[in-house]
Amino acid sequence: MPGLDGLIIGGGADVDPALYGETRVVPPLRELRRRSGSLSGFLLSLLLFPLIWIARRLSGLRGRHGGDRDRDALETELLQQALAEGKPVLGICRGAQLLNVVNGGTLYQELSDYYDEAPNLDTIWPLKTVDLVSDSRLAMVLGRTRCPVNSLHRQAIRDPGNKLVVVARDRQNVTQAIELEAETWVIGVQWHPEYLPQRREQRRLFRALVTAAGQNRGT
């Protein structure tokens, strides 16, 4: 990958389940109000939803649940090359899931069973709490072992891929972050740090990637 010092794979359409040996599960209908957790959270999410929709359209996303096989193929190739060459990688939401699948892991296609008592939030605001493994690369980057994050997903990592370890979970024990067991800087987060620029620890994540990319360029 000449000229590329690091790689970010962002959010978007569901990863094709055929890539991890499954067929697509049709998701049940959900109401945004139920997943927002509170009336205030619902109203805030509703106000900002058009901005999220526009961002997803600009990224070429045509259907969140319908998948995008062309994107799967392109990003799978990019990830494989980056990993083979030891490039720093940051996977965000779908990007973390695809990172896991590329390394032989699997996904939960539908998380509703995990959130019967406490519905999974659907919000760009940091209203979900995740706990991080204290000696993980991610915890050192963020500078904390407990972190408020947002939640815009209905799928998540099930079985971690080869040499990937779970380094963050939410209160329902659902995986929220993974990283590579190696010197190479490879992290995947289930939340969207790009929607949390007001959070210092989330800005640190991008700074750490840039630093790792700079160090990679010098090797």
Pairwise CA distance, residues 152 & 11, whole Å: 9
Helical axes 94-102 vs 69-84, angle rounded to 10°: 60
Catalytic position from the list 75, 147, 179, 192:
192
93 is catalytic: yes
Could you tell me which of 141, 119, 133, 131 has the C-alpha nearest to residue 204? Answer: 141
Catalytic position from the list 93, 147, 153, 179:
93
CA dihedral 204, 207, 209, 210 (to 10 degrees): 180
Q: How many CA atoms lie within 13 A of 153 on its CB side?
A: 31
Task: Categorise residue 21: left if φ over 0, alpha if ψ from -120 to 50, beta otherwise.
Answer: left
Residue 188 contacts residue 136 (beta carbons within 8 Å): no
147 is catalytic: no
Give the residue numbers annotated as catalytic, written as ranges: 93, 192, 194
